[in-house]
């Protein structure tokens, strides 16, 4: 398998990379503490421009959970800092006070106003997922049992909503079920990641979490991985049959696939399953080979598995998070296999990232680039979907993996 190394890779050694990673992590964490945290109402603003100025005061509920998780996770990895724990607690309190829809059995909203008035409820239940891991991680740091109880309750709701439980919001499915229904890759892959957090902080329920993690792994390979098509499909029929006659059925999201690959590698490392680890690398290989833009560099947002025109108008944009996930996955493969090819890919990705994303003047990364690698204008640092999550998670994981590689020698 040949990868197009469009960028003349600057092979900084891992010690140099580690210093850069640490500097970026400190800068990114400080950026959100200084510019994002709402000191009046609590929680975090995430719609920020290139100078760190808030351009919309509405709040993403996803981001309250993600921010709550990341600052607790920083405490888990590096030790408790007062400002990190306070930021996490601010988001957790905002979630608890304002973001729970008490008329829908405790489901969470998607967006609220800055002072917590409900705005939008979505059928998708990722708000519950991020609420869950934020409470779980905070419990892991503080030992405050109420947060574990909240995490367990949200986890069960999140699991059950994706396994046949009627949605108490009454929104119903996205499409008429009599006409078309199916499966989405995002469900088992995010469930797998959420389950891994619970497994780490709540060992009392390890049997349940291990059982469910194995179910997620099975669903990913049974329904979504299509080696004959050379990809992992985002959306399939209920029995996993590809729906190649419609655009939705041909969508490949290489960032999702790559993120999924390292979730699977983590699970393989937890269980010692070498075959699963090998299969996870194959998912990465398929996604990176077709997802890397051989003309301009960077990872495409979407592509059509048969080469037809993608329906999503943003399909050829370059977003921050697929590059975060690819940095994690490529370095993880190198750490686990010592295959230099993946160190080359890591450096290729790092080169592109440093040149295009990590150049914003405010200390955080640009989120949205055109295909040619230039930021969309006016340039955006944060949004309803981009906050303190993918970038700092990536940097934390790179830092720790480089340490492991250097210790190994």
**Token output for 388:** 């303190």
Residue with tokens 């194959």: 282
Q: What is the pLDDT of residues 128-141, one digit of tens each?
A: 999 999 999 999 99
Q: What is the pLDDT of residues 191-240, one digit of tens each?
A: 999 999 999 999 999 999 999 999 999 999 999 999 999 999 999 999 99
Give the pLDDT score at 3.
Answer: 40
Residues whose CB falls within 8 Å of the CB of residue 68, separated by 6 or more in sequence, listed in order: 88, 89, 91, 92, 95, 130, 131, 134, 135, 137, 138
Characterize the bridge pairing of strands 318-319 and 368-369.
antiparallel
Pairwise CA distance, residues 67 & 134, whole Å: 8
Residues whose CB falls within 8 Å of the CB of residue 222, separated by 6 or more in sequence, listed in order: 240
Q: Is residue 335 part of a domain?
A: yes
282: left (phi over 0), alpha (psi -120 to 50) or beta: alpha
Q: Is residue 164 part of a domain?
A: yes
Give the CATH number for residue 168: 1.50.10.10
Phi, psi values for residue 123, rounded to 5°: -70, -30
Q: Is residue 409 part of a domain?
A: no
Instruction: Tell me if 301 sits within 8 A of 317, measured CB to CB.
Output: yes
Q: Is residue 288 part of a domain?
A: yes
**Token output for 277:** 């680890």
pTM for this one? 0.96
Residue with tokens 């592509």: 303
Q: Is residue 17 part of a domain?
A: no
Please state the domain count of the chain: 1
What are the C-alpha distances in Å from 338 to residues 105, 328, 335, 409? 49, 15, 6, 11
Element (H, E) at 59: strand 59-60
Q: Is residue 242 part of a domain?
A: yes
Give the pLDDT score at 12.
Answer: 62
Q: Is residue 350 part of a domain?
A: no
Range of the domain at 272: 60-339
Give the pLDDT score at 177.
Answer: 87
C-alpha torsion angle, residues 254, 67, 203, 405 (rounded to 10): 60
Give the pLDDT score at 409.
Answer: 74
Give the pLDDT score at 385.
Answer: 97
Q: In the chain, which stretches have pLDDT less than 70?
A: 1-12
Q: Is residue 33 part of a domain?
A: no
Characterize the bridge pairing of strands 111-112 and 59-60.
antiparallel
Identify whether 252 is preceded by a cis peptide bond (ω within 30 of 0): no
């Amino acid at each position: 398998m040949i990868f197009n190394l469009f960028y003349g890779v600057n092979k900084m050694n891992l010690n140099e990379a580690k210093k850069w990673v640490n500097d970026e992590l400190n800068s990114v964490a400080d950026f959100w503490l200084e510019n994002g945290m709402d000191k009046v109402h609590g929680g975090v603003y995430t719609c920020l421009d290139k100078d760190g100025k808030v351009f919309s005061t509405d709040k993403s509920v996803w981001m309250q959970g993600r921010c709550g998780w990341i600052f607790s996770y920083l405490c888990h990895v590096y030790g408790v800092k007062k400002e990190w724990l306070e930021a996490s607690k601010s988001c957790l309190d905002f979630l608890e006070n304002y973001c729970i829809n008490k008329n829908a059995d405790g489901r969470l909203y998607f967006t609220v106003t800055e002072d917590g008035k409900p705005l939008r409820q979505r059928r998708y239940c990722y708000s519950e997922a991020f609420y869950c891991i934020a409470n779980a991680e905070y419990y892991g740091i503080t030992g405050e049992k109420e947060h574990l109880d909240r995490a367990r309750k949200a986890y069960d709701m999140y699991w059950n909503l994706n396994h046949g439980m009627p949605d108490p919001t009454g929104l119903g499915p996205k499409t008429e079920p009599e006409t078309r229904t199916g499966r989405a890759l995002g469900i088992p892959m995010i469930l797998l990641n959420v389950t891994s957090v619970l497994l780490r902080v709540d060992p009392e329920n390890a049997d349940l979490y291990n059982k469910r993690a194995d179910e997620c792994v099975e669903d990913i390979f049974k329904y979504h991985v299509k080696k004959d098509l050379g990809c992992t499909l985002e959306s399939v029929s209920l029995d996993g049959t590809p729906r190649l006659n419609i655009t939705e059925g041909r969508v490949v999201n290489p960032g999702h696939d790559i993120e999924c690959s390292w979730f699977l590698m983590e699970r393989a490392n937890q269980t010692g399953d070498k075959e699963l680890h090998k299969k996870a690398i194959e998912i990465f290989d398929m996604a990176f080979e077709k997802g890397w833009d051989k003309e301009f560099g960077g990872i495409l947002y979407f592509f059509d598995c048969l080469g037809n025109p993608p329906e999503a108008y943003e399909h050829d944009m370059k977003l921050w998070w697929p590059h975060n996930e690819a940095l994690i996955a490529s370095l993880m493969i190198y750490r686990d296999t010592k295959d230099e090819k993946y160190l080359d890919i890591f450096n290729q990705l790092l080169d592109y990232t440093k040149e295009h994303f990590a150049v914003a003047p405010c200390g955080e990364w640009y989120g949205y680039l055109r295909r040619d690698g230039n930021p969309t204008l006016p340039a955006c640092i944060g949004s309803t979907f981009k906050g303190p999550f993918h970038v700092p998670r990536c940097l934390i994981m790179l830092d720790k993996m480089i340490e492991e590689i250097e210790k190994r020698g």
